[in-house]
Chains A and B, each alone.
Chain A
């Protein structure tokens, strides 16, 4: 039973809706005519058709060659005739004003019979401005494929699809952003990916409520599990083959129209230190390089804070042989180690930031000026010790070994809390800082999956590809932690060797 109040309220709502629905094609055309690039004309005086389109969105060559000749033809009086004769795929006759608006604004030509008719024919003649597929810049590898995503969703999907030509690769499309109306595609492998995982991602993307979204990293910020963390919780990549192998592993991927990267989830901390290179090299080499990379990260984060801790609190730790060098280099430095370190660290950050903003040629010059000229000058003016300068140089160098750019940034930031804690309580302070970060990492999840796996939860079998890198014949299982529908990737067959003479 509805009370009168409810009825009144409903009436009010209906009125409002009707007002919104009351918008007609004429209103739309009027609204569009405020812009100079809106074109609206009658085909000829004899033919009945009116054409409307937005010049900047359509390919006018196609209109000239494929549409005009038919609209000017008086033998085709109705829209249906026209639809059948125009040699362009994807034409449709529509009536709903919202649909008309959407097709007009996405590069269709709207063809009307008379000026007051509500039924129109929409012909897609979008103009696609895009750069060609290029070499990956942020995730460059020496060997392996050298294609990178570009700003067009369709091209990106093509790059992925052609690597996985199976019907199981499912792509769903979403529209995100109330003003920007960005197209987002969510990819997964049917029959492999855990269905719950797909559901989590689609739900989160559906929940995104933001007006203007220009890059997929904005969506990442909106959907990540802990928005206050400075550890990236989804892996950003610009390499289609990395996406393809993630999909086959049982992960989900999303990518957006207009942004040249795809996001892979769930991810874990160690995945950020594995490069696609690792899979293209012989396994002993790639295992070695991966371990080098992990050590480089540890060094990059801890080296300067260890320097502070040792020079401020724990002089006993310095070996006797090294003591002379250390004392000699710090002898004339007028301030405590902490100021020395922060000064130099900030200089390096400055150089990096300047290098990133400048065009690449000038960027190189800045690198040389900063690295060599300023560095030597600072030591000669004894404003910093040469030992520290070496350390800072090495930490900067080793932070560049991280294959994923986002994680490189995280490591840049991560140094500073350790430096501050080291000044406060020496090694004990660093242990405090480590404890805080470890607790944070233990609690952190990526799309609901633990961020610290395979360390915690402890999955020894997942070590094969995540920490170590065993021969490709041994990587027969998908990561356990993903709980994918198919656990096995393939059945490994061991080749039989002909028996040696000693066994005969």
Chain B
């Protein structure tokens, strides 16, 4: 149905690492310690590890599924038929766009609060969207290049943290596991939001050379972002008191020595992140409705920009992220496994 992605547009399997890392370590890292401490307290790191294990299983399932199909769109069309499949594809356009939206809104909120309280939000939205649009039109390989540079040069900035000698209380981490299983589960659910983003693979799969081999790299990317999250969680927990930490909206920034430079240059991490989202959303439109990707990209960008204007207060942003969290959780842990089972069933029946 669709011509295979050309070899010149493909990237080596190794780059799956950068896709996963850049998509996962997004803007969420700034709020992570607070959101994790709400339910599981100082045991949040267990929830981080546990949630990473769950996501790792899902990545395995996604690869098993994609190895038999090309993208999520072709799989859905096979499983549900053309009409229903196309209809469900619309959901993916919404899903990918929603992730771009939440990244954009959350990042601009930080900029607004920390550096530019007097600048109108729409100016910042416009700048970010224009840049992300430019990244996307440059093609998949350019976005990958951007994410590679971001991981190599921007993520190390995280390590320039305050490490006040003598004020770190490692005792805060103990006793280990003194929260109930229910609390842990709630925390794990919150945490999955941070690990979301790897669903880009559902669309990017045909653009990876020898794609099955990239599975290993996707898992390594997951481990890498888990380590970054663990560091980002444990440092504030051993520095602040738990109740104090609950009142800080962006603990990572508060603890960071280079908060101003860091949060500005974080743009370089978020641009490939948003560009991947835009790219996937417009790609879904292209594959389903045979529209040119440039046109659909313009449409998606405009809609996201328009929606971003609606979110101005902290509460609105929080409810948006809660909604995205829930939606992402159910999509990944309910819909994807079901789709996988259905696909397996259909393939089996065809063989019989």
* A and B are interacting partners: yes
Seen from chain A, the residues whose Cβ lies within 8 Å of a Cβ on chain B are 313-314, 316-317, 425-428, 430-432, 434-436, 438-439, 442-443, 452, 455-458
Per-residue A-contact encoding for B106-144, CB less than 8 Å = 1, 0 else: 000001000110000000000100010011001000101
A458 touches B131 (CB 8 A): no
Residues facing A in B146-160 (CB within 8 A) are 146, 148-149, 152
Confirm or deny: B265 has a beta carbon within 8 angstroms of a beta carbon on chain A. yes
Taking CB atoms, residues of chain B closer than 8 Å to A455 are 148-149, 152
| Nearest CB of chain A from residue B248's CB, rounded to whole Å | 17
| Nearest CB of chain A from residue B51's CB, rounded to whole Å | 29
Distance, CA A434 to CA B266, complexed state (A): 11
B142 touches A439 (CB 8 A): yes
Taking CB atoms, residues of chain A closer than 8 Å to B145 are 442, 452, 456
Taking CB atoms, residues of chain B closer than 8 Å to A427 are 115, 260-261, 264-265
Confirm or deny: B271 has a beta carbon within 8 angstroms of a beta carbon on chain A. yes
B134 touches A439 (CB 8 A): yes
B260 touches A317 (CB 8 A): yes
Distance, CA A439 to CA B260, complexed state (A): 23
| A436-B131, A439-B142 known; A431 vs B149 contact (CB < 8 Å) | no
A432 touches B116 (CB 8 A): no
Confirm or deny: B311 has a beta carbon within 8 angstroms of a beta carbon on chain A. no
Confirm or deny: B342 has a beta carbon within 8 angstroms of a beta carbon on chain A. no
Confirm or deny: B14 has a beta carbon within 8 angstroms of a beta carbon on chain A. yes
Can you offer 10 A-B residue contacts whose CB atoms are under 8 A? Answer: A313-B115, A314-B260, A428-B111, A431-B268, A435-B146, A438-B268, A439-B134, A442-B149, A455-B148, A456-B148
B138 touches A439 (CB 8 A): yes
Confirm or deny: B267 has a beta carbon within 8 angstroms of a beta carbon on chain A. yes
Across the interface, A425 reaches (CB within 8 A) one of B116, B146, B149, namely: B116
Q: Please name the residue on chain B nearest to A430 by beta carbon.
A: B264
| Nearest CB of chain A from residue B30's CB, rounded to whole Å | 15
Q: Could you list 20 further interchain pairs (A-B, Cβ under 8 angstroms) beyond the known A427-B261, A443-B138?
A: A313-B115, A426-B264, A427-B260, A428-B111, A428-B115, A428-B116, A431-B264, A432-B127, A432-B267, A434-B265, A435-B146, A435-B267, A435-B271, A436-B134, A438-B149, A439-B146, A442-B149, A455-B152, A456-B149, A458-B148
Distance, CA A464 to CA B116, complexed state (A): 43
Which residue among B111, B131, B145 has the maximum number of chain A CB atoms within 10 Å of its CB? B145
Taking CB atoms, residues of chain B closer than 8 Å to A435 are 131, 146, 267-268, 271
Distance, CA A432 to CA B266, complexed state (A): 10
Distance, CA A443 to CA B271, complexed state (A): 16
Residues facing A in B140-187 (CB within 8 A) are 142, 144-146, 148-149, 152
Taking CB atoms, residues of chain B closer than 8 Å to A456 are 144-145, 148-149
Per-residue A-contact encoding for B264-291, CB less than 8 Å = 1, 0 else: 1111100100000000000000000000
The 3 A-B pairs of least Cβ separation, nearest first, read A427-B264, A442-B145, A456-B145
Q: Please name the residue on chain B nearest to A313 by beta carbon.
A: B115
Q: Please name the residue on chain A nearest to B149 by beta carbon.
A: A438
| Nearest CB of chain A from residue B117's CB, rounded to whole Å | 11
Distance, CA A504 to CA B261, complexed state (A): 57
Q: Please name the residue on chain A nearest to B127 by beta carbon.
A: A432
Taking CB atoms, residues of chain A closer than 8 Å to B115 are 313-314, 426-428
Across the interface, A442 reaches (CB within 8 A) one of B12, B146, B260, namely: B146
| Nearest CB of chain A from residue B164's CB, rounded to whole Å | 16
Q: Please name the residue on chain A nearest to B271 by beta carbon.
A: A435
A458 touches B116 (CB 8 A): no
| Nearest CB of chain A from residue B69's CB, rounded to whole Å | 28
Taking CB atoms, residues of chain A closer than 8 Å to B134 are 436, 439
Distance, CA A428 to CA B119, complexed state (A): 13
B142 touches A443 (CB 8 A): yes
| Nearest CB of chain A from residue B264's CB, rounded to whole Å | 4
Distance, CA A456 to CA B145, complexed state (A): 6
Distance, CA A439 to CA B141, complexed state (A): 11
Taking CB atoms, residues of chain B closer than 8 Å to A458 are 14, 148
B260 touches A316 (CB 8 A): yes
Taking CB atoms, residues of chain A closer than 8 Å to B111 are 428
| Nearest CB of chain B from residue A49's CB, rounded to whole Å | 63
Distance, CA A408 to CA B152, complexed state (A): 26
Distance, CA A430 to CA B266, complexed state (A): 12
Distance, CA A314 to CA B265, complexed state (A): 14
Distance, CA A435 to CA B268, complexed state (A): 6
Taking CB atoms, residues of chain B closer than 8 Å to A443 are 138, 142
| Nearest CB of chain A from residue B112's CB, rounded to whole Å | 11
Q: Please name the residue on chain B nearest to A456 by beta carbon.
A: B145
Distance, CA A458 to CA B151, complexed state (A): 12
| Nearest CB of chain A from residue B7's CB, rounded to whole Å | 14
Taking CB atoms, residues of chain B closer than 8 Å to A434 are 265, 268
Per-residue A-contact encoding for B251-266, CB less than 8 Å = 1, 0 else: 0000000001100111
Q: Please name the residue on chain A nearest to B18 by beta carbon.
A: A458
Taking CB atoms, residues of chain B closer than 8 Å to A428 are 111, 115-116, 264, 267
Which residue among A435, A442, A452, A456 has the maximum number of chain B CB atoms within 10 Å of its CB? A435
Taking CB atoms, residues of chain B closer than 8 Å to A426 are 115, 260, 264
| Nearest CB of chain B from residue A37's CB, rounded to whole Å | 56
Distance, CA A504 to CA B231, complexed state (A): 48
A439 touches B265 (CB 8 A): no
Q: Please name the residue on chain A nearest to B258 by beta carbon.
A: A317
| Nearest CB of chain A from residue B121's CB, rounded to whole Å | 14
| Nearest CB of chain B from residue A472's CB, rounded to whole Å | 27
| Nearest CB of chain B from residue A144's CB, rounded to whole Å | 33
A438 touches B14 (CB 8 A): no
Q: Please name the residue on chain A nearest to B134 by beta carbon.
A: A439
Taking CB atoms, residues of chain A closer than 8 Å to B142 are 439, 442-443
Distance, CA A457 to CA B131, complexed state (A): 22
Distance, CA A487 to CA B106, complexed state (A): 48
Per-residue A-contact encoding for B89-116, CB less than 8 Å = 1, 0 else: 0000000000000000000000100011
Which residue among A314, A317, A434, A439 has the maximum number of chain B CB atoms within 10 Å of its CB? A439
Distance, CA A88 to CA B104, complexed state (A): 78
